[in-house]
Structure 1
Amino acid sequence: MRLPAIALAFTMSSQAALGCGGNFGSFVAELKSEAVARGHAPARVEAFFAGVRQDSRVLKADRSQGVFQKNFIDFSRAVISKNRLVNGQRNAQRYQSVFQRVARDYGVSPGVLLAFWALETDYGAVQGDFNTLNALVTLSHDCRRPALFRPQIFAALELHQRGDFDPARTKGAWAGEIGMVQMLPEDILRNGVDGDGDGKVSLKTSPPDALMSGARMLRGLGWRSGEPWLQEIVVPEGLDWSKTGLQTQLPVTEWARMGVKGRSEALAQGLRGSVLLPMGRKGPAFMAYPNFHVYFEWNKSFVYVTTAAYFATRLEGAPPYDAGNPEAGLSPNQMQALQQKLQARGHDVGGIDGILGAKTREAVQKEQIRLGLPADAWPTRALLAGL
């Protein structure tokens, strides 16, 4: 489910410098030479890469992420099941002492990690069956995001030297993430925590290790201790919609003066926030606090991030959101047509993929302002026709 932690765009010159593409065997030989140059023993390097092969399933998975074309309501209803909510509460009780340590050491609330744990691997039950080394080498050889994946190979080699990575047996997600909360090898090297005290960092089999490591990574990404991340709100009909969206952050007191209220509890005081309308002014509404932006360092999908953050609030007692009555959205083909029109007008939409991501939403809002439409960043057929 999880997308790579950092989405990057590269020029052809940077791709060439990284040596992606070409004959796969020659590419692996280059990796071996670089590993030796980094100080690894030639025999260990040969053993590490001995069985590596290109995995066509990885490339297919990388190019078919249609699940993220769903809107927020459809996606959140599909992945936040009663079973996941019940199991979340059970795991919160079962690992209460671990979550207490997480809150003390890293300032991360239990619901945040429980939501990631559920969405990434269904609480550890579905961790992926892709050979991790094959996945990383395949994606590094592919020229779409070599600067993200190539360093992960050498991080995996470091883990192998520590005895924490078996190139033949370690399996995980198609994009190379490992364990219950799906972390890339570099993230494990940087943030791995021996949460159960057995002398090893095992994110595949130890919930304490996985939870503590995930919390440490979130803190390193900028998580602010003890602060909220997302809260459902009620917005007045006359709100200036052009002020909504993640690009506008205002003091909570200013939002309150405009008539914005918390739906089930008061707005957090002393913070800045953004009014987030994932399906426009007639759909669900949330206040996104500074910690919400950290989610985008974990995953770049707007709908995934919003769902994960909302799910975390549900696991901590928030009621189901008010779905409202949003205007009909666009089909994937219509969304691609819209993105093409937006791009032609000079907007950066992050790619013609039919996915309503953060960049497309920002471009939509700018065009809504220009055309005199309600600027709530929700693309409709009226906008498409207007362009």
Structure 2
Amino acid sequence: MRLALAFTLLASTATAQTCGGDVSAFIAGVKSEAQSAGLPAATIDQFFQGARIDQSVLRADRAQGVFQKDFISFSRALISQNRINNGRVFGDRYDQTFNAIEQRFGIPRGVLLAFWAFETDYGQVQGSFNTRDALLTLAHDCRRPELFRPQLIAAIELYRRGGMDPARTTGAWAGEIGQLQKLPREIVRQGMDGDGDGIVDLKNSAPDALMTGANVLSSLGWRANEPWLQEVIVPSNLDWSQTGLNNKLSVQDWAARGVTARQGRLGPANLPASILLPMGRDGPAFITYPNFEVYFDWNKSFVYVTTAAYFATRLGGAAVYDAGNPSAPLSGPQMQQLQQKLVARGHDVGGIDGILGAKTRAAVQSEQVRLGLPADAWPTIDLLNRL
């Protein structure tokens, strides 16, 4: 790869994040930008032959209601005994690859097995959307062009390398490819040949997909041989306002406040950590370590991240969490109403979408403190009424 192209792809490729309007004119703009990045004009023209906007991609993008589920409902839907059993099967089948990953990156196999399970059921369901058209559609759409326009240009480079066929390569609706569903820029940057055949093939080679996934996590800041999440028991008199991902104390400070591991021992005493109560003080409780933050660079959904991190501990031998007895979650419309009230009070909730994400949780906790309620970041009907 030429130096100018490498720099452009590793930095931000999108010099002018235009979107919408005439599709042909939009493609012409992308072509011009790709040429400026050093890609051959003939390759670019071949890449876009037959390209089209896919309305089914837009429908999928607008219909992500699954993330409105609470943690218990979401995790029980995603974590089945079959997925646990298959985790053991595939862990044994690719034992050599997982050993190499642990030795090189310090990432336990359960972490990648959990992603592998959730993304494609261990490679069995990789998606049927044309990757080029999905990326074109989302780059042209004006909801998140700053994310997908660079991915579209990276896909041209991937095509130039022989890593995808614009007419035939398929994957997820958001343009991810392969068994761990990675976007083109990640494949260009961190793609690895895990099986030694000289080809990076994330669709058909599990070792390639797993090694690439590990390389992605490492590049995002995964701290080798450190924990990420662990179930804990918290005392009933804990200061709930100190919980949540925005609040950190050392492990030894949490221990001094009465937090104990439900299994085994807490992580190293000097590690910064947060107490995560995904459904409030009466539901499951976890301690999160620095590696937990890396999960949010893989997927932005709070409930997905928490479930994936927990499932990784299950695959490593942890017990089923204690669900406790949390108060009922708000409905989608109630959550949207709550978000509207929080925005009216000056909070940034990241959008009125009915999803209890990290920003909404932080806003809820702030209002609970103001109102003198237990500040555990779990929204209730009482809080909604008071606001």
TM-score > 0.5 by shorter chain? yes
Q: Which residue of 2 aligns with 1:235?
A: 234
Q: Which residue of 1 aligns with 2:65?
A: 66
What is the CA–CA distance in structure 1 between the aligned matches of 2:68 and 2:207, rounded to whole Å? 34
Does residue 248 (structure 1) correspond to residue 251 (structure 2)? The answer is no
Deviation digits for residues 194-233 of structure 1 (CA, Å, limit 9, x no counterpart): 0001110000010100000000000000000000000000
Question: Offset of 1:265 from its aligned partner?
Answer: 1.2
What is the CA–CA distance in structure 2 between the aligned matches of 1:25 and 1:16, rounded to whole Å? 19
Deviation digits for residues 87-146 of structure 1 (CA, Å, limit 9, x no counterpart): 001111111110010011111110000000000000001111000000001100011111
Q: Which residue of 2 aligns with 1:149?
A: 148
Deviation digits for residues 4-61 of structure 1 (CA, Å, limit 9, x no counterpart): xxxxxxxxxxx99322110112111222222233333322221110010000011111
Q: How does 1:156-171 map to 2 (within 5 A)?
A: 156-171=155-170
Q: Which residue of 2 aligns with 1:351?
A: 351
What is the CA–CA distance in structure 2 between the aligned matches of 1:287 and 1:45, rounded to whole Å? 48
Question: Offset of 1:330 from its aligned partner?
Answer: 0.5
What is the CA–CA distance in structure 2 between the aligned matches of 1:34 and 1:348, rounded to whole Å? 34
What is the CA–CA distance in structure 2 between the aligned matches of 1:268 and 1:91, rounded to whole Å? 28
What is the CA–CA distance in structure 2 between the aligned matches of 1:148 and 1:212, rounded to whole Å? 24
Q: How does 1:126-137 map to 2 (within 5 A)?
A: 126-137=125-136
Q: Which residue of 1 aligns with 2:266?
A: 267
What is the CA–CA distance in structure 1 between the aligned matches of 2:15 and 2:296, rounded to whole Å? 28
Q: Which residue of 2 aligns with 1:43?
A: 42
Question: Offset of 1:329 from its aligned partner?
Answer: 1.6
Q: Which residue of 1 aligns with 2:307?
A: 307
What is the CA–CA distance in structure 2 between the aligned matches of 1:335 and 1:161, rounded to whole Å? 46
Q: Which amino acid aligns with 1:301?
A: S
Q: Which amino acid aligns with 2:364?
A: V
Deviation digits for residues 234-271 of structure 1 (CA, Å, limit 9, x no counterpart): 01111000000000110111111111100011111231
RMSD: 1.1
What is the CA–CA distance in structure 2 between the aligned matches of 1:44 and 1:289, rounded to whole Å? 45
What is the CA–CA distance in structure 2 between the aligned matches of 1:161 and 1:16, rounded to whole Å? 21
What is the CA–CA distance in structure 1 between the aligned matches of 2:221 and 2:37, rounded to whole Å? 30
Corresponding residue SS for 2:147: helix
Q: Which residue of 2 aligns with 1:383?
A: 383
Query: How has the CA–CA distance of structure 1 residues 346 and 264 changed in structure 2, closer, same or farther, with 3 Å as cutoff?
Result: same
Deviation digits for residues 328-380 of structure 1 (CA, Å, limit 9, x no counterpart): 12000000000000000000000000000000000000000000100000000
Q: Which residue of 1 aligns with 2:3?
A: none
Structure 2: state its 5+ residue gaps.
Answer: 1-13
Q: Which residue of 2 aligns with 1:91?
A: 90
Q: How does 1:1-387 map to 2 (within 5 A)?
A: 17-270=16-269, 271-387=271-387
What is the CA–CA distance in structure 2 between the aligned matches of 1:179 and 1:241, rounded to whole Å? 41
What is the CA–CA distance in structure 2 between the aligned matches of 1:263 and 1:88, rounded to whole Å? 23
Corresponding residue SS for 2:383: helix
What is the CA–CA distance in structure 1 between the aligned matches of 2:60 and 2:373, rounded to whole Å? 38
What is the CA–CA distance in structure 1 between the aligned matches of 2:16 and 2:206, rounded to whole Å? 39
Q: Among all aligned residue pairs of Structure 1 and Structure 2, give the percentage whose two residues are the same amino acid.
A: 65
What is the CA–CA distance in structure 2 between the aligned matches of 1:35 and 1:192, rounded to whole Å? 21
Q: Which amino acid aligns with 2:18?
A: G
Question: Offset of 1:384 from its aligned partner?
Answer: 0.2
Q: Which amino acid aligns with 2:300?
A: K
What is the CA–CA distance in structure 1 between the aligned matches of 2:141 and 2:380, rounded to whole Å? 36
Q: Which amino acid aligns with 1:155?
A: A
What is the CA–CA distance in structure 1 between the aligned matches of 2:210 and 2:246, rounded to whole Å? 31
Q: Which amino acid aligns with 1:379?
A: P
Corresponding residue SS for 1:73: helix
Instruction: After superposing the two structures, state which structure 1 stretch, 154-163 or 343-352, moved more.
Output: 154-163
What is the CA–CA distance in structure 2 between the aligned matches of 1:145 and 1:156, rounded to whole Å? 17
CA contact 2:43–2:156 (8 Å) conserved in 1: no
Corresponding residue SS for 2:355: coil
Q: TM-score, normalised by structure 2?
A: 0.95
Instruction: After superposing the two structures, state which structure 1 stretch, 193-202 or 37-46, moved more.
Output: 37-46
Deviation digits for residues 262-303 of structure 1 (CA, Å, limit 9, x no counterpart): 001111123121000000000000000110010001010000
What is the CA–CA distance in structure 2 between the aligned matches of 1:339 and 1:276, rounded to whole Å? 21
What is the CA–CA distance in structure 2 between the aligned matches of 1:261 and 1:152, rounded to whole Å? 44
Corresponding residue SS for 2:303: helix
Q: Which amino acid aligns with 1:60?
A: R
Deviation digits for residues 68-103 of structure 1 (CA, Å, limit 9, x no counterpart): 000000000000000000000111111111001001
Q: Which amino acid aligns with 1:216?
A: N
